Structures are given as structure tokens and as C-alpha cells.
Structure 1
Amino acid sequence: FWLKPLQESLPNPAKMVVKGLKKKVVVKGKKQMLKFTIDCQQPADDNIIEAKDFEKFLTNRIKVDGKTGNLGDRVAVTREKAAKISVSAEAPFSKRYLKYLSKKYLKMQQLRDFLRVVAPNKTSYELRYFNINEDNDED
């Protein structure tokens, strides 16, 4: 009995319209492409690593939507020069993932104790030898 005036004062929820609410329109434009490079020049010069094998490894192992061998047109793995591998991918792709796969490849080739993966700049990695300085002067 005392709720009746309150219900009459409230507007009908079906007739309520929120001002300024518009539907979001997704604009499909150019997708952002990321380009990363892995430089394996030093080990390739010493015939420790074959760049084409490394490229094939990356092509087979990179996952897209949780599936390997599913690169499609979203990810492209190419070899530039003799020992530079370039990976071009659409936006949600991690540079760290390339480091992970590079280390996995080195472990598979049993080179993990001799080579390391270093980032000289924001968009590339480099395979370098560990600096082993054996000082025999400490007697």
C-alpha cells in the first residue's frame, strides 16, 4: 500500500533510454604487422648452425591459435641474406616467444652451452658465443 506511490513515480524500464549510448562499430583496417629478426651470422660462419634448418624449425614450431603448422598468412618466416631469419606476424605475437623457440632449437642441437640469445635492439635477436675468459694467471 505504501509502495504504490513509489512504483508510479519510477519510469517504465522498457521505455528508458540511456543518452549517449551508441553501438560500437569495429573498423576493419590494416592489421599491425610486427617484424622480428634473428641474426645467426657468427655460428653460421663457423658452420655450427644451418640457417635453413633453423628457419624450417621455426616454421614447424610457431603456434598460431594454439596449433603448430597453422601459420597461414598471419606469420611468415623468411631467410634474409645467408644467416638472418626474419619473422613477420600480425599483432598478437611475442618477441619473447621467438627467444623461447631459439633456445629450444639450440638445446635440440646441443649448442645451448656455447651459444646464447641476445637482444641487441627492440626488434631483433642475435645468437652469440658465451665469453669464456679462462685466466690461468691465478696461481
Structure 2
Amino acid sequence: MAPVKSTSAASAIKKTKVIVDCSAPANDKIFDVAAFEKYLHDRIKVDGRTNNLGEAIKITRSDNKISIVANIAFSKRYIKYLTKKFLKKNQIRDWLRVISTDKQTFELRYFNIANDEEEADEE
């Protein structure tokens, strides 16, 4: 058998970048992007502890988009979970939903309530 080459731990962990696009609700002034950025800073856990971001995770805000760049193993689903918790805490979860637009981007969109009202009127 041929010898198996082992990969180092540093090369096995990829940089993960997740973008949360809050443009629609922020333009309507029902969503505070700065408060959401602070919420992520306070709530993201590294090694099981909050306020332990250090060099492992960088959170930046540009206009109405928040970028999270992780140098450690990091789940995109965890950002979706924290986003939903923030929406629920601010009582806007009933109007907004978190949708993945591509492999590294989430977008906050409104529910399509207008279509539901039209169908209810027809009945």
C-alpha cells in the first residue's frame, strides 16, 4: 500500500464568509442594522463561549449588509439561527423571513401577505 499523506489542520479548515443582506427592511426603517451587528458580536460563540471572537471571526457592516468572515469551522445555519432570534426579540419575525439567495448569502425578505389577502377575498 502507498503511504497516505496527512493534511495539516490549518489547511483542512476553510475560510467561511457569510453575508446577511438587510436592505429591504432597513430601507423601510423597521430594521436596525447597527443593533443587529452588535447582537451578532455579543451572541456568536467560539469554543462554547460568547465574547470570544478574537481573530477567529470578523464581523463588518457596509451600508445594509453584514459580512461575517470566519477563520475557524463555522456554520452558515448558525447565522440564520441568530438572525431569526434577533427578529423574534424585536417582534418583527411575523413580517420578515430569512432566505438563502446563494451559497454564502442570506437575505431578509417580507412575507407575501398581499397574495394571501387576495385569495381570502375571493372565497
Alignment TM-score, normalising by the size of structure 2: 0.86
Q: Which has the larger radius of gyration?
A: 1
Q: Deviations over 1:46-90 (max 9, x none)?
A: 00011111000001000000000100000011002x110000002
Residue 71 (1) aligns with residue 53 (2): yes
1:13 matched to which residue of 2?
A: none
Please list every run of 5 or more consecutive structure 1 residues that lacks an aligned counterpart in the other structure.
1-19
**Alignment-mate amino acid for residue 138 of structure 1:** E
1:59 matched to which residue of 2?
A: 41
Residue of structure 1 aligned with 2:93, choices 112, 116, 134? 112
Cα root mean square deviation, aligned = 2.3
Alignment TM-score, normalising by the size of structure 1: 0.77
Structure 1 outlier segments of 4+, above 2 Å: 24-32
Residue 32 (1) aligns with residue 19 (2): no
Q: Deviations over 1:72-109 (max 9, x none)?
A: 000011002x1100000024100000000000000000
In structure 1, C-alpha distance between the alignment counterparts of 2:7 and 2:100, rounded to whole Å: 39
1:130 matched to which residue of 2?
A: 111
In structure 2, C-alpha distance between the alignment counterparts of 1:33 and 1:53, rounded to whole Å: 25
Relative to structure 1, the CA distance from residue 28 to residue 93 in structure 2 (aligned partners, 3 Å threshold; closer, same or farther) is closer
**Alignment-mate amino acid for residue 96 of structure 1:** R
Secondary structure of 2:77's counterpart equals: helix
Decide whether the 8 Å contact of 2:13 with 2:73 is kept in 1: no
Higher share of residues assigned helix: 2
Q: Percent identity, please.
A: 48
In structure 2, C-alpha distance between the alignment counterparts of 1:60 and 1:33, rounded to whole Å: 21
